[in-house]
Amino acid sequence: MRILSGALVVSLACGLCSQAKAGTRLKDISSLSTEYSVPLVGYGLVVGLDGTGDGKNTQFTIRSLVNMLQRMGVTVNADDVKVKNVAAVMVTASIDPLAHPGGRLDVTVSSVGDAKSLQGGVLLLTPLSGPDGVAYAVAQGPITIGGFNIQASGGNAVQNNYSLVGRIPGGALVQEAPPDLPTVIGLVTFTLNDPDITTASRATQAINERYGDIASAVDAATITVTVPEDRTQAMAFMARLESVEVDPDTQARVVVNERTGTIVAGGQVSVAPVALAHGALTVQVSSSPVISQPLPFSEGETTYRDLTDIAVQEEAAKVVAFEEAASVAEVAAALNAIGATPRDIIAILQAIHRAGALRAELVIM
């Protein structure tokens, strides 16, 4: 989101503040200790490519193809394999503890060789293993890349989106459920997505006000809650517990992406009393060739030199004074009033932060 007008920043900040004041469900700002995902990874081959697969220099693709054919009873010499419709890929997915054998997972397929495109390819049977080495799922199926890459002779090419990474929706079949995390009977743990002492204290207070003294904040990220030991009652109680509304606290933070000129400021951001002078200095350097020819019938040589012209243009500085605890809306309105571009605003915010007047954390991406 680019800051092009003060109103844009104000609407964002006010929108976030109004959502926080309205109350947020506990399940939206935290997760249960048993709610985790196990990353899966596997190495496989994609076939059926239209000459856009790995080249002859990618030896591990050739070796993988030869080994696969040998397991199928076909013996070939690796030196004789010169196919361009096969690509080596890494297959990744995530499985949650509630997955059961027979369930389906979405997988991502990424080229690891020098293939030019995975368009039209089909992934062959690939086991997907977790960090413990256990194969929890197997993946196979046609790949969708959401684009294309067409290359012609003479270096001409037309490409739409990125064609070396694709997905197979529901392309993995769960073979084994991941192990459950050890849990304490009658006690569950909520972990805040954004650890904060104030938020943890408010969440604990909200739970205790509704259900009695059953919750306690262990630290800025962890809240333990005592629940009924009976599994049927515990599930119903957990469903009600997740709907408890909490007023989360947020840290004043300004996030800046210098590569794209994007600035996002939270509603808690303020500026101490400070005076800001902003101007622009433009230096333009141009050169033009000057060629000097010798006189006719002389023994002189043609000389060449550059004539450099330097022009300096300095804009008048615009001065803005911020009063005590100026809000992000006032800062945005003032910076836009002096005609500051997003790039200028980034430099100004960095200078204000350096001066110690920006009462917020400045995050540079």
User: Token match 């050890």: residue?
Assistant: 182
Q: Are 332 and 348 in contact (CB under 8 A)?
A: no
Separation of alpha carbons 358 and 253, rounded Å: 10
Residues 6+ apart with CB under 8 A from 361: 251, 252, 253, 254
| pLDDT lower than 50: segments of the chain | 1-21, 281-283
Q: Name which of 325, 212, 319 is nearest 275 in CA terms.
A: 319
- What is the radius of gyration, based on Cα positions, of the chain? 31
Tens of pLDDT along 125-161?
999 999 889 999 999 999 998 766 666 555 555 655 6
Query: What is the model's pLDDT at position 86?
Result: 93
Separation of alpha carbons 83 and 54, rounded Å: 8
Strands 86-95 and 222-226: unpaired
Instruction: Name the segment(s) of the chain with CATH classification 3.90.1150.
Output: 24-35+181-246
Element holding 51 (H helix, E strand): none
pTM of the model: 0.56
Provide CATH code, domain 24-35+181-246: 3.90.1150
Q: Is the dihedral of CA 115, 118, 124, 125 positive or negative?
A: positive
Q: Is the dihedral of CA 192, 193, 196, 201 positive or negative?
A: negative
Beta-bridge partners for 246: 24
